[in-house]
Amino acid sequence: MIAALGLLVGIALGLVFQPDVPLGLEPYLPIAVVAALDAVFGGLRAYLDGIFDDKVFVVSFVSNVVIAAAIVYLGDKLGVGGQLSTGVIVVLGIRIFSNVAAIRRHLFHA
């Protein structure tokens, strides 16, 4: 309940204040969103499996975002940012679809 309320408050604040993303951080925003989605779906899967731990979720959420952004930043510095961004998106996308498949199997007992 608290998480849903926090989500609603966050959405409302975002709509009211309409924050701008600094130009230098724009390339990292999609990567951070996909990394955060990976952590969220992993947390939902763990919850449905009965092994959810809030501390593990928070560490996973933050570390996913930081590591994904660091990989893309390193790629930018090496001149291969586009390729590493694609690699990060592909890996996290595979993890997201794997977690969603497990969630679906759990919900529909398939």
**Average pLDDT score over residue span 84-106:** 94
| Per-residue pLDDT tens over the stretch 15-37 | 999 999 899 888 888 999 999 99
Unique residue bearing structure tokens 């199997």: 105
Kindly report the CA angle at 92 between 4 and 88, in degrees rounded to 5? 130
User: For the whole model, what pTM was predicted?
Assistant: 0.84
Distance CA(18)–CA(30), nearest Å, equals: 17
